[in-house]
Chain A
Amino acid sequence: MELVNTGAKDRYLENLLRGQPPAGSHGWLNQIRAAATERANALTVPTTRDEEWRFTDPSPLLKFSFQPARGAQRLAQADIQRFVIPEASSDRLVFIDGIYAAELSTHCGNEHGILVTSLAQGLSSHGEILQQHLARNADFDNDVFCALNTSFLRDGALVIINKNVAYPAPIHLLFIATKPETAVYPRSLVVAGPGSRCALIEEYISLAENVYFNNAVTEVVVGENARVQHTKLQQESRAAFHIANCAVALAREANYISDTVTLGARFSRHNLHVLQTAEGTHCVLDGLALISGRQLADTHTYMDHAKPGGNSRQLHKCIVDDAAHAVFSGKVLVREGAQLTDSAQSSRNLLLSDKAHVDTKPQLEIFADDVKCAHGATVGQLDAEEVFYLRSRGLDDQGARSLLTYAFAAEIIDKIPVASLARQLRHTVMEKTQLREST
């Protein structure tokens, strides 16, 4: 411990906090970073004694000493070609180990009322909007991982959709991991102006089965009467740690539709926090975790109906094979005065082996009297009647099980509005479910 003592309570965090990028030229951002660093120093890595981490033990993270990525790995267009989504090829931001790769990124929409660029670029051209929204939604006061990310905040993805612009093509934010033993802090800010429409694909992939720590924060600000369709696809290395915080703020009559697909990482935690800041918002929070081996996938969602007349729909599915462990915690809070809230949540879980494990915890907290709220959770195996039905049509037992497992996943994948991505995911799920044939 011969280096600077950061004053951290937690030795592990102290180590992670080293090697931060130097302060930049924007005073307000330096202040935010300093405040976040202070919070990271004051907080500790959670344990299963923390209610929010009851089912997910983060201690495996502590076995590794991660360092910030030093220097950018250079990749050629050919290296990333297989990750290019045809529908989204005109607007793509690529980050390699958290560092912006301008040469692999495209920005065709910048002349059509949108801005898709790096945060660093945006800081000089759109400082006012950034100052208004960046780090204002994702809470770094109480979440140590969000504080860590914010402490490292220098660059990231920036998407701004101007007022009343309905941008037709999806915008692809592609985060590629290449180096082992690195800690990466991807950061994204999306601001959809009033009356605008856009579709986002936030994707995390890896070029090798390395151990690394991806600690991402995404903030989405949906303006009055705007609509944002947000697909998050987590396909990290199966040895990696992925901890992500996504914070969404909805203005009056805003629409936010989220699909989160979790396939990768040894250990993943996805926190999705949606705050209704004005009346009459519409929100869909769907998710699928398809895991096997010894993977752990934890999805925590928090829908905060702070104002009246909001509706929210949520269908979260987990398919758990081998000795994998899935966690779902879905909190819906209806605050005092948030009358006419209409909320429905469903958690459905499929266990494919005796050792597979799922913890599901729907939570409904209602402090208003004129609301409609429903929630439910199921955990089970494939239905024997369904298997028999398919076998009576000639499919063998394994084929019937694969088809039913695929179908369980397809209900979520079919909601993804980008055709090629949905097709690719269907293919991935087919491979994953048919892999069982050889086992």
Chain B
Amino acid sequence: MTPLSEIYSINSKRFIQLAVVSACALVAAAVMAPDRAWSNLLIIAFYATTVSLGAALFLALTYVCGASWNVAFRRVPEAIAVGLFPFGLMLLGVLAMNYKLYEWHPHAEGDPGSLWFKEAWSSPPFWMARAALYLGIWFVLSRTIIGLSRRQDKSGSPRLTLANRRFSAMFLVVFAPTFALACCDWLMLLDPMWFSTIWGVYHFAGMVQATLSVMVLLAVSLRNRGPLAGIFSDDHLHDVGKLLLGFSCFWMYIWFSQYMLIWYTNMPEETSYYLLRTRGPWGPLMIANIVLNWVVPFFVLLPRPCKRSSSVMVRVAAVVLVGRWLDLYLMVFPATVGPTPVLGLAEISAAGLVIGLFGALFYRNFHKSPAVPNADPLLAESLHHHC
């Protein structure tokens, strides 16, 4: 068997190669169509930031519940959540590149006086400062939780678990409003006239779905390659699968709640969003979005044996991750790029870039601490987890 550090370095090297090649391709694509390249950057930066944030949320939720089942593979979400800092910076950079796009009322038409609040809310300095604030808060709290968890490896003190429970509660309380506002700031304002009060919940559902899928892929690959062999059991996989199934249904529920109210009331300022996205070539993509994010995970993950099979789970996770990308694509591209959907060098190289960066960062972070939180008081319970 190859030593662990070698596995990490081989993996990191491959991911870095992928990232470098993709970055070059993306630069070439940006020369041809800068708007399209920027939209892709926004999608991947938001994608990676929310997956990292979702991992922090998973940590916080399980700490607050006093859950033990996830302790055996907790280093996986921890290593994902560490990515919040680099990807958050990347997102800030992407937002700063094109902040003008988010300005309310950019063409000085109509009557700005009646919407003074929206005008002030989306003024660039305040808007950028808020973005930095949200990311800063998430970063500080998630890093505290991860830091205490790693410190426990050395000190072995059960008090650190209790301390983390308190920080996690704090994180959850802060996370809910900031995340809802952040999603509105970064994606809803692309269409400044349009609004949806369920936007934050919608993104919460999609984020958790994507995070769980990433966790499945990484935990299964770590189990196959050694570090989590005999630790990440089928029972753990089963429980993550149940969560994925549940959150897929939740995503569909929220997606439909947003769509149906707008369809029913049929008010012009609300329907504009869906008119653009359900007609012409966007229509089939809208259907594909539902198929990838709900139909496939729902029907495939319903039977118990499927949730316990790593090959099925890995495939479903990959489908959901593509679905999440399509979901974001449908939010961003009709607003920024144009009337017809495009898929080419820019989209593929952006996807390669984010996969490469994410993978390289993950393996680097995972390698930094023991693969299992070996002093956690709940570890024994987690290793004998049955479901």
The finding on whether chains A and B are genuine partners in a shared complex, rather than unrelated, reads no
A residues near B, CB below 8 A? none
B residues near A, CB below 8 A? none
